[in-house]
Amino acid sequence: MPTKLEERVRQELDQKGRLIETLRRDPAHLTHDALMRYSDTMASLDAAWERAREAVEALACAAGAEATRCSEEFADAWQELQWELRRVRRA
């Protein structure tokens, strides 16, 4: 049974996924540089989202020392996803 924290993290991850899909459908929300490299931009966003998703899955199943490693990977993956979204979105 997922914890409330896990549910919240998964909800936030889903929100980020929906944001990526919105950017895919309406690239007017991308910065000029991101729009000029649209394919690379979307591939980077997809890869960052997938990395975060895999990290959540691994963390949900981990225990002990493995949980610590998975937690660190999740933190890195989540930061990367946040950074990628900030980098490509218009303010």
Label residue 83 exposed, middle or buried (CB < 10 Å: 0-12, 13-18, 19+).
exposed
Tell me the per-residue pLDDT of 56-67, one tens digit each, with 9 for 90 and over: 999 888 888 888
Query: pLDDT tens digit string along 18-35?
Result: 999 999 999 999 999 999
The single-letter DSSP state of residue 18 is H
Residue, of 91 and 8, whose pLDDT is higher: 8
Amino acid at 65: A
CA contacts within 13 A on the Cβ side of 61: 5
| pTM for the whole structure | 0.91
